[in-house]
Amino acid sequence: MQPSAPPYEERLTAPRSWWLMSFLIGVSCALIMLPFGTLPTLGGLVGGTAAAAVVVSAYGSPRIRVVGGTLVAGEAKIPVTALGEAEVLDAEEARAWRTYRADTRAFLLLRAYIPGALRVEVTDPEDPTPYLYLSTRNPQGLAEALEAARAAAAPGTA
């Protein structure tokens, strides 16, 4: 039995500046509550900061994983056997594929603050999705993980 490909995992976290903005939103809420007294001002600071931090955390929570012969990208779960060639995109190509070259049928897991991306063809004839666009800080590593998982899942390799 051939050992399985090593898993790949990445979390698309929000930039640090967004966490600072969360605090500044809390300060804004505190200033709004200032005429009502000290306790409401403190509540506005804590509540506004917490609410903004929840939004930033939720937006920055998608994960990209290659594990057990499956690519898991956000909500999508696709067997690697249904995927074709992976194309590593530099910052300029990634911008083109998420704007004017984008196909409306494609699955896009994009974060504009991440400059690199990976474009993976979908070869399953039953799937209308032509390709996956995945924002990633390590497009080459993700492409290698997909290739290793595809080689491990190929028939006749066990």
Confidence tier at 27 by pLDDT (50, 70, 90): very high
Model pLDDT, residue 97 = 92
Nearest to 10 by CA among 79, 65, 86: 65
CB count within 10 Å of CB 148 equals 17
Q: Are 28 and 22 in contact (CB under 8 A)?
A: no
Least confident of 2-6, 20-24, 114-118, 139-143: 2-6
Q: For 38-79, how does the pLDDT look when each residue is reduced to its tens digit (9 = 90+)?
A: 999 999 999 999 999 999 998 888 999 998 889 999 889 999
Lookup: tokens for 23: 């605090």
- The total number of residues written for the chain in this structure: 158
pTM of structure: 0.81
Distance, in Å, from the CA atom of 24 to the CA atom of 48, rounded to the nearest integer, reads: 9
Helix (H) / strand (E) containing 85: strand 83-89
Q: For 72-126, how does the pLDDT look when each residue is reduced to its tens digit (9 = 90+)?
A: 998 899 999 999 999 999 999 999 998 999 999 999 998 888 999 999 999 999 9
